[in-house]
Amino acid sequence: MYEFKRFYIDGAWVTPPGRRELAVINPATEQQVGTIMLGTAEDVDVAVKAARAAFETYSQTSREERVALLERIIKVYQSRMKDVAQAISDEMGAPMKFALNAQAGSGLGHFMSTLAALKEFEFEETLGTTQIRREPVGVCGLITPWNWPLNQIGCKVAPALAAGCTMVLKPSEVAPLSAHIFAEIMHEAGVPKGVFNMIDGDGPTVGEALSRHPDIDMMSFTGSTRAGVQVAKAAAETVKRVSQELGGKSANIILEDADLNAAVKSGVLSMMSNTGQSCNAPSRMLVPKKLYEEAVNIAKAVAAKPVVGDPKKDGVTMGPVANKTQFEKIQRLLQTGIDEGATAVVGGPGRPDGIDKGYFIKPTVFANVNNNMTIAREEIFGPVLVMIPYETEEEAVRIANDTVYGLSGYVYSGDIEHARKVARRLRTGMVHLNGASTDVNAPFGGYKQSGNGREWGKEGLKEFLEVKAMMGYSAA
C-alpha cells in the first residue's frame, strides 16, 4: 500500500494542514492501492511562493548548470525505472512490460531529448542592431493527466527546467503514485529548493487555484478539452500564457495504393496500444469503399489478438482503462454505437469473457459507421476503433477534417509522395506517414479544439521562454 500523504514544497516533504484523504484505486482489481491527500488553494499559495522565490536565482543559472542538473535527473531516473513502472501499473493498469518500456521509458526519453535540445539551443541572436533574447517565462503551473503519467510530467518538467523556470506540478489525482516517485527522483538529483514543487489535488480546487493565481506566469495543461477550457478561462483573468494539449479523434486514411493488410494491422495495433487511452490514437480508420469489407475482416482478426487481463501476469498485453468513470463512459458509448446502427464486428459492451471485476474493456471494432455517428465524433478514449468507408480521396480528406479536433492524422500509401500530398491537406498538428512512430524531437500538439502550443524537443523548450528585443544593443 502506497502512503503518499505529503506534498513536495521548497525542497522538502511537507504534511498539508488539511486532512482530506483520497483513496487511489487499482483499476485491475477495483481495490485501494494507495492514499494521497487533497490540497487546497492555501497549499497552492505556499507552493507558488516557494517557486516565486526560487525563480530569482534559478532563472539566472547558466546553460551549463542546467545541463548538469538534467544529467543528474536522468541518472537518478534510470536507477528508479522499475519503481516508476510498478507505480504506473498499479495506478492506471498498464501491463508491466508496457509500463516499463513505454510509460516509464517515455518520461526518461523527454529528459534526454530536452537535454540534447538545451545543449544546442540558441537563446540569443542579433538582428541588425537589435539583440533578441529568449528568457524563462517565470513560475509555471503544470497539470498532467492519468493516461501517460510520466510521459506528460517529463515533457513539461524537463523543458521548464531547461528554460530556467520554476514550477508547481499537480498530477492527476487518479494516477498520482508515479508522480510522488518522480518527486523523490528530483529531490535525490539535487534540484534546488523551490524550483520544483508538487501538490496533489482535484481540478476544481487545486487546478483552479493554480490557473487563477496571480503569481503563476504560465499554465501548461494536458487533459480533456472540457477541462482545458476551464483552465483557459481561469487563467485569462491574469493574462497568463496557456499551453494546452487536449483531446483528439484522429483519422487514419488508408489510400487505395496502400498495402491493405499491413496498413490495417498497424492501425488496429496502434489504436489498441495503452488500452486506447492516447489522445493521438488513430480512432477513425478511413478505407476505400471497394476495399472496406476486406479491411473490416483484417481488423476483426487483429483486434481479437490482444490478451486482456491482470497487468502483472506474463503474456498480458492489454490492461484495464484507468478508472470507473472512464469505464462507464466507454460502456455507454459502445451501446450508443450499436443503437445508432453501427456493427461491433468484434468486442462490444460488457467485460471480456472470464473477467468479472476490474475496468476491462473488450477490444472493439465498429463497422458500418458514418462520420455523423456519436462514436465517430466523440473521443471514446478506450480500445475502440471505428471504420468508415469513402468513395474518393477528396471525400476521405473531407471526413478526416470534419471534426472539432485536430491533434494527429495517419496516412498509408504505397507511394510516399502520395502520402505526403494527402498529409499536407490534413488540419492536424501531426501526421504519421506509413506507420511512422512518434518522434520525441518533433513538436507534439494540435489544431482546433485539440489545443494550442507545442511540447517535445526544441519547440517544447520554446513554450517556456519569453522573447525580449533590445534595440540599439549593437553599434550601427
- Collapse the DSSP code of 390 into the 3-class scheme (helix H, G, I; strand E, B; otherwise coil) and give the result: strand
Residue closest to 368 by CA, chosen among 288, 301, 292? 292
Distance CA 237, CA 211 (A): 9
Residue closest to 49 by CA, chosen among 161, 184, 199? 199
Strand partners, 218: 140, 241
- Look-up of cell digits 481479437: 304
CA distances from 409 to 203, 306, 388, 435 (A): 29, 24, 15, 11
Distance CA 192, CA 430 (A): 36
- Sheet strand arrangement including 7-9: 12-14, 7-9, 196-198, 166-170, 139-143, 218-222, 241-245, 451-452
Which grid cell is 375?
462514436
Is 466 a known active-site residue? no
Provide the pairing of β-strand 139-143 with 218-222: parallel
Decide if 348 contacts 364 (C-beta within 8 A). Answer: yes
Q: Which one of the listed residues 245, 379, 455, 463 is annotated catalytic?
A: 245
Distance CA 372, CA 341 (A): 11
Counting beta carbons within 10 angstroms of the beta carbon of residue 12, is it exposed (0 to 12), middle (13 to 18) or buried (19 or more)? exposed
Which grid cell is 301?
482478426
Measured at the CA of 254, the angle between CA 248 and CA 255, to 5 degrees, comes to: 135
Q: Which one of the listed residues 279, 379, 455, 463 is annotated catalytic?
A: 279
- Rounded to 5 degrees, φ, ψ at 26 are -75, 115
Residue closest to 123 by CA, chosen among 163, 94, 168, 160? 163
Distance CA 421, CA 440 (A): 24
Is 279 a known active-site residue? yes
Q: Known catalytic residues? A: 245, 279
